[in-house]
Structure 1
Amino acid sequence: MTSVFYHLTSSCWYHNDSNDICKLGKNKLSINKIVNHTSSKDYLTFPVKKNDTHLGPIVAILTGKEREPFSGNYETFKRISNYIMNSGGIPIIVTPSSFVYKCVNAHYYCSNRKKWIQIQCPFPDLVYNRIPSPLLEKLPEYKKTIQLIKDFNIPFFNKGFCSKKEFVELLSKNRNLSKYLPPSVTIHSKEELLYYLVTWKSIYVKHHEASQGKGIFCFNLLTENQIEIQSSKGHSQICSLEKAWNFLRPFLHSTVIQKNIHSILSNGQKYDLRVLVHKQKEKYIVSGIGVRVANLNAITTHVPRGGSIMSVTKLSTPVNQFIINNLANEIGKALTNRFGPYYEFSMDIGRDKENHYYIFEVNSKPMVFDEEEIKKRGLENLVSLFYELTKFEP
């Protein structure tokens, strides 16, 4: 088996391939054959794949640096890193400040030593974007890094967060998808607010860049001058139309307003489907479907906000797999046509009483699913894509 070795003291890379000199990283830096591999404690060892004399691939997970040594979910990063490592790749964690001349200063999780180790690598063969917030993606340092990635033609996974406004515009202009978008409007006056509340009885107000159930309000019409405003934090207030309009007006430029689709279980709890999607060759496949159920009277189903998990097999009306598969493929193509290559995303989907499907949201950086089967299949499909895109397929 071909392996590469990283010498912890000198920061030099070596290999044991039959070729005297092999290449490593996207910039294909030459590394020499190892001669005296005398002490394993001085080296990190990586069994790797081969593409002629190119060894690897080096797969970088890009995150922020709001805490040391980097931001993000460490356990998730360890799980992805171990899977990459065990299947023939070199997993590293990088931040925008990691990229320097011809190399990156990265971290690698060494499971044998049970700690993160700082290492220096050639440029990665692929970058998996897990920058945790839209605000960080707007920083000059991030934009500079993205330009460098483009300049070196490095495959880039998850180009960035897709705002709710972009998502609504994308679906509304697509003839294959527009019928799956909840009715969406812009409101300019309290008279229009009243009109849509009278027409729909209930509307959702979502901040463009909200995530994980944050920044969402539900307006429910009780009487013509009595409106209940519920927040995703569980707060509720009843006020007049005038006060409801004054509450809403400051958010109008940064929100999406939609009809409340009543996707509820027999006991009255709101639920939605969480669908994980990956690209596979020229199509998009569903890696798994989960169900999230809100607490009674809650307006979001997110588990950190009190929601719970239910097996998809326990739904009284089975999921139409054909529709879900079709939506996954159509949305994947639409995202790619609009923003460039998309390889992974998740969808939040609801159903009304007539069993019509609605796409509530598309997440360009899916959260980790709690269901072990979905988590496992999603990781397999994700890493398989890493190798396909770096031309290190089995």
Structure 2
Amino acid sequence: MSQQPNAEMVWLRQKNHIVHVVQPRVAAKSQKWPAYARVLGGHTQLPITQSLPQGQILYRCPVSLYERGAVAEVGPVFAILAGEGKNGFVGARLNFRDVIECGRKQGAFVYVVATNDVHTGNTWFGYVRLGHQRWVRIPCPRPQAVYNRIPTRALERRKSAIRARQVIRQLGIPMFNREYFNKARIYALVRSHGLSSFLPDTEPELNRERLFDMLQKHASVYLKPAGGSVGHGMVRIDSTKSGWTVAVLKQGQTNKHACATAEALWQTVQRERVPGRYVIQQAIPLVEYRGRPCDFRVLLQKQDGTWQVVGRGVRVSGIGRITTHVPNGGSIANADTVLKEAFGDAAERVDDRLVQSVLDAARAIDDGYQGELGEMSMDIGIDPQGHAWFFEANAKPMKFDEPEIRRKSLEGVIQHLRERAGL
């Protein structure tokens, strides 16, 4: 169900309350509409008005008004699930702004809802943006589909977040993505689908015996928090003639330590690790761009039930850094340029293998989540021989800075919300 917007949802402030109505656009005003329109997929009814009642217009959004015999329907309506906070909600507000604006361009009303505002009623209170850093809380129809962007693992573990996701499931509202990924689980899913050659050698638990077994096999290893993000708490250990060097990334800063004995190394690891479970992973030699190691960020989205590569970029490590994350000093490069410089005439073949590998991995991970995923990004390394290696998958991708990837990703989010809503 899709058509060009022929109406607007309008919110007006009248004295001490807010009035929410539907107004047909000029071309649709000549049609005889009933007094009320039911929001698609729900029970909320909104008055249809040819002329707006008096009051201050707070917000308006293009939508579609459908005739269903004696009943009119209006929509679609989607929500972005954010964390609860002192200022109403917590999350990547610039990203939310862009998703809402992309929805407006496609005739969909999108709003932000904090986890503590999710309930079983037909009307939720959500947030829309009125101007620069100005968000207002307005009554909104219960959505047809939800985009989960709770911004941190800690917020996702709060009682309000757990309850919100339970309510959304109870109401039968489709939602993606359900939760942050756990590295150990993701590696297990990829491995279980016959993709072991895509994975660096990985131990799912960190203990002294497993660490030194891995260091016997590999000159360098990474210790990665199973539930971490943006590299915080990551540790790299490199074997040297006199022992080991340990590089630790915390709060965007990399600190290095020299360890001459196994006992000193283990004590350093114990002291520097952040709370929680770790995995141990073989460090893969990466292709370099202008003398610095780099890896690939690949964005994938599900379209018409099939995983697609939206785009891929390259992140180049900063000087003295153990990751390529831009917030930790990394920089951006063009993927085609890097592949061409590294592999010459073989660049297209390497890229084809990269794309096929990430699509295989996306399907494997999605199978493990019962098909509930709608998007993910992956961190992929390519070694000097052109072999692709899976490092990490992210359930809630950060914003891609490449303009074309960004545009496609926003359009893909709205498209997937429509698909989840059955439109």
Over residues 121-149 of structure 1, what are the superposed CA-to-partner deviations in whole Å (9 max), with x where a residue is unaligned?
Answer: 12111111110111221222111111111
Distance 1:350 1:61 in 2: 32
Which residue in 1 is equivalent to 2:111?
A: 92
Amino acid at match of 1:97: N
Distance 2:144 2:21 in 1: 17
Distance 2:118 2:214 in 1: 50
Over residues 146-204 of structure 1, what are the superposed CA-to-partner deviations in whole Å (9 max), with x where a residue is unaligned?
Answer: 111112111102111011111111112121x2210111125776565344223210000
Matches within 5 A, 1:279-298: 279-298=302-321
| Structure 2 CA distance for partners of 1:285 and 1:14, relative to 1, 3 Å | same
Structure 1 position 99, deviation (Å): 2.1
Structure 1 position 96, deviation (Å): 0.8
Which residue in 1 is equivalent to 2:243?
A: 226
Amino acid at match of 2:238: N
Kept in 2, the 8 Å contact 1:190–1:241? The answer is no
Over residues 313-335 of structure 1, what are the superposed CA-to-partner deviations in whole Å (9 max), with x where a residue is unaligned?
Answer: 22122363432332333233222
Matches within 5 A, 1:178-197: 178-185=196-203, 190=208, 192-197=210-215
Q: Aligned with 1:235: secondary structure?
A: strand
Question: Given the alignment, which residue of 340, 357, 365 partners 2:396?
Answer: 365
Which residue in 2 is equivalent to 1:247?
A: 268
Distance 2:281 2:361 in 1: 19
Which residue in 2 is equivalent to 1:161?
A: 180
Amino acid at match of 1:184: T
Distance 2:361 2:209 in 1: 35
| Structure 2 CA distance for partners of 1:327 and 1:264, relative to 1, 3 Å | closer
Distance 1:114 1:40 in 2: 24
Structure 1 position 50, deviation (Å): 4.4
Structure 1 position 354, deviation (Å): 1.8
Over residues 309-367 of structure 1, what are the superposed CA-to-partner deviations in whole Å (9 max), with x where a residue is unaligned?
Answer: 01112212236343233233323322222113111000100011221110100000000
Q: Aligned with 1:135: secondary structure?
A: helix
2:353 aligned with 1:323, yes or no?
Answer: yes
Which residue in 2 is equivalent to 1:19?
A: 33
Structure 2: stretches of 5+ with no match in the other structure: 1-5, 25-31
RMSD of equivalent CA atoms: 2.3
Q: Aligned with 2:254: secondary structure?
A: coil
Which residue in 2 is equivalent to 1:310?
A: 333
| Structure 2 CA distance for partners of 1:96 and 1:197, relative to 1, 3 Å | same
Distance 1:49 1:333 in 2: 34
- Which stretch of structure 1 is more off in the superposition, 53-62 or 312-321? 312-321
Matches within 5 A, 1:43-82: 44-50=59-65, 52=68, 53-82=72-101
- Which stretch of structure 1 is more off in the superposition, 316-325 or 70-79? 316-325
Which residue in 1 is equivalent to 2:29?
A: none
TM-score normalized with structure 2 length:
0.86
Distance 1:273 1:24 in 2: 42
Structure 1 position 25, deviation (Å): 5.5
| Structure 2 CA distance for partners of 1:55 and 1:292, relative to 1, 3 Å | same
- Which stretch of structure 1 is more off in the superposition, 286-295 or 333-342? 333-342
Structure 1 position 3, deviation (Å): 2.1
2:128 aligned with 1:108, yes or no?
Answer: yes
Distance 1:263 1:82 in 2: 38
2:159 aligned with 1:140, yes or no?
Answer: yes
2:379 aligned with 1:348, yes or no?
Answer: yes
Identical positions, percent: 26
Which residue in 1 is equivalent to 2:3?
A: none
Structure 1: stretches of 5+ with no match in the other structure: none
Q: Aligned with 1:154: secondary structure?
A: coil
| Structure 2 CA distance for partners of 1:85 and 1:186, relative to 1, 3 Å | closer
Kept in 1, the 8 Å contact 2:227–2:276? The answer is no
2:52 aligned with 1:33, yes or no?
Answer: no
Amino acid at match of 1:19: W
- Which stretch of structure 1 is more off in the superposition, 202-211 or 328-337? 328-337
2:222 aligned with 1:204, yes or no?
Answer: yes
| Structure 2 CA distance for partners of 1:64 and 1:244, relative to 1, 3 Å | same
Structure 1 position 212, deviation (Å): 0.9
Structure 1 position 257, deviation (Å): 0.3
Distance 1:114 1:236 in 2: 40
Distance 2:310 2:229 in 1: 21
Kept in 1, the 8 Å contact 2:314–2:334? The answer is yes
Distance 2:205 2:420 in 1: 44
Which residue in 1 is equivalent to 2:27?
A: none
Q: Aligned with 2:365: secondary structure?
A: helix
